[in-house]
Amino acid sequence: MGCGDLFLSILDEDKLYNCLFVPLLMKLKIIDEKSGNPFEYFPDEEHHIEGYARNYEKPESVAKVMGGLVRILNLPSKADCLEIGASNNFKPSRSLNQQGMCVATLDADCNIQRHTDIATYDAYKDMKKQLGSQILIPRIAGRDGPITNYLGDLAFVLDEQSSIRNQRFNFVYFWGSMYWGDTCSSVEWSQTASDWCQIKIPFPERILKAVHLIKEGGRLFSTSTVFSGHAGEKPSYIAYSNQVIVDSALYLATAGPIKAKTIGLIGQSEEATRKKFGAFPNPLEEIIQKKLYSCFGDNNDYQGLRKAMADIENLKALDRLGMVDAMFLEF
């Protein structure tokens, strides 16, 4: 056996790969009022005062915010975009479309203003009776001008009969729809799946399907509960909202078929938040210390969450986190 053969017998292909290629850590990027946070309190909006949810009513407000997001996320022109849980809020999808993006929406629960192929809610009831649990499989159900609107549950986007199965997007986003705020259905809780089909789909299992729909180099985005909720900006609610959005972001960044390169958090700076509400602890450490809910589960003292935290390059930045309006992931 020659020296070269001996070397290759000792260092097989997998070991050689591991020696030469060290896994890269994810970067944590924080964008606040000093660095371009687009989520403003517009003076001419009904809820323009700090302390209230920013449920923008004016299309021009949403257009300005969306324009800021397009710049922050560096979305390509004519990007393929999918809004998950659009419901009766047409402004985000229309705004992106007006900025030259190719937009589609996906909802698990029917909205006849959006799902125009279904004439009435009585027709939808008949459709559910006919299809049974198959109603959860995404299908084209209407259009809003150039925007295609799908009806179906995110959990079933990869089903063989899903109309969206083979599509991939540059930008997949949740605008006030990822978490249930006690006022309406959401991706966390779907009326069709839970009540009609009696199917309980765990939240982590459902949201992870969104990662499968992202193109290489794409972005995933979600607003936080404090941004889009109705409880107001109170210290206890901000702390809870930060825990939920950061935990979800880390889970989506690490538990899916592809790993994110960057986790981004958009919100107010730690200094600005402290002046109004006081300081907030590291949201992930708070989950572990207080034994709170995590998408990773709590097995072996939050082993899954701890392992994912170790994949963040500048984890200590979370020690100086202000109120989070939204998160994004770069893949």
DSSP string, 135-174: GGS-EEEEEETTEEEEES-GGGTTSTT-TTTT--EEEEEE
Residue range 24-330, CATH number: 3.40.50
Cβ 168 vs Cβ 214: under 8 Å: yes
pLDDT at 252 over 80: yes
Question: For the CA atoms of the chain, what is the radius of gyration?
Answer: 21
Higher local confidence (pLDDT), 4 or 126: 126
What's this model's pTM, rounded to 2 decimal places?
0.88
Highest-confidence segment of 4-8, 88-92, 248-252: 248-252
Distance CA 182, CA 203 (A): 16
Mean pLDDT of the chain: 87
pLDDT digits (tens, 9 = 90+) for 129-158: 999 999 999 999 999 999 999 999 999 999
Q: On the CB side of 310, how many CA atoms lie within 13 Å of its CA?
A: 7
pLDDT digits (tens, 9 = 90+) for 6-43: 444 444 444 444 445 556 899 999 999 999 999 887 87
